[in-house]
A and B are shown apart, each in its own frame.
Chain A
């Protein structure tokens, strides 16, 4: 059973004359223990794909199956719980809570999901790997784009999710950091058996992927 599967997913925005089909009959599977990379140019539907895969958006038709559960069969509450407990999102807009320090971004996760998060030392290790341990008392507004991006990655991984969905996680990073993040995601898949899905236009990540898909004009193809 794949950790995450999209079957015949179609997404149409707008109505009538300004109707745009952003995703057209997408079939996709991500397995545990693997990094799946989806590469496509800007506007190709990567973010739309990822948010549908994570249950933040619903597809116009087709289905999303997470660990054998079809998302459209779940109530809003159950979908929230699944998202909180099983899926870690690294969003393109970083999405940190502006009034929480870096430390409190993690505390918030503890508050709403008391169990199964990283322990103290694992968190410290993660922050050191990402080079953000010194930023623990800063507010998001005090961080650079690259720092924010790495905090967002740490926040998603802190939840210790089975599935990690990352949207352009390296857009603001230099090559050295790209390698760190790529290696980190790769190790996570291998040693913790997580399913990692990264959508990006950053070809530098290719060397860390087990599979690479291309997305273009609403179609997805396996390379």
Chain B
């Protein structure tokens, strides 16, 4: 085991995958010589050469379109979209092509590829460096969608994603790159140094896609979260003293229904938290699943805490961000219901 930040763990995951398999190639805007604006690919070009790690022209549709062609021709591209907010020019290639290559060709062609994207807010990035577009991917048949929330999972999930036979959208909460962030923005920044999930195995290991993880066991209420919101939910449980069971979904598609239902049927209450806008967010899907599968165990209405239905603002970041106070209030209300 070694201590790593989430950025180092992601880089290490690509390094391990590239070292084991020559067909893994890494490219995207600024990812070559410079190593990416978040430095996730730093050193990879030097180590594996310009053929396997290089700068792409600023064309997200080009990045994903060429990755599909490479995947069809036996490669395993792991490409970076500089911010999830900039994936839209590639949306056609992702949703209409990558997602359906296997299905429409009856596996005559397949599309094993990973599209990494920094996601979420918390860095005063305004409306084009803060978005959480996961629901735009979970709504698409044929994609897998992963959102890690710590260095350990980031590395293990990324290697699993690269080795997966189908296209995987890998959303990296950028506010977590250098340390866990629980939404208490007024407190000093902490790094991954002392966090138990900052301990990462060396070399190859995987965290299987499709498995949630209980981050805090509790009896009173289940919190379903992923990404940055896992840390926020843990802080809210701490702040309110409510014995919440916090579940980190880790993979949104395919989701871990067993883990969700086991917990909600046990606690009888459920709060769903995400940073993305509320309406038609992934929380709506989770709420429907919980209603379908746990209805007779529920003792309170399912609650969602999410970003407001506005574009992500710049100056009002902390009014927008669903921090521990809002999650805590939802926990309290759910307990009182």
- Are A and B bound to each other? no
Residues in chain A within 8 A of chain B (CB atoms): none
Binding site for A on B (CB under 8 A): none
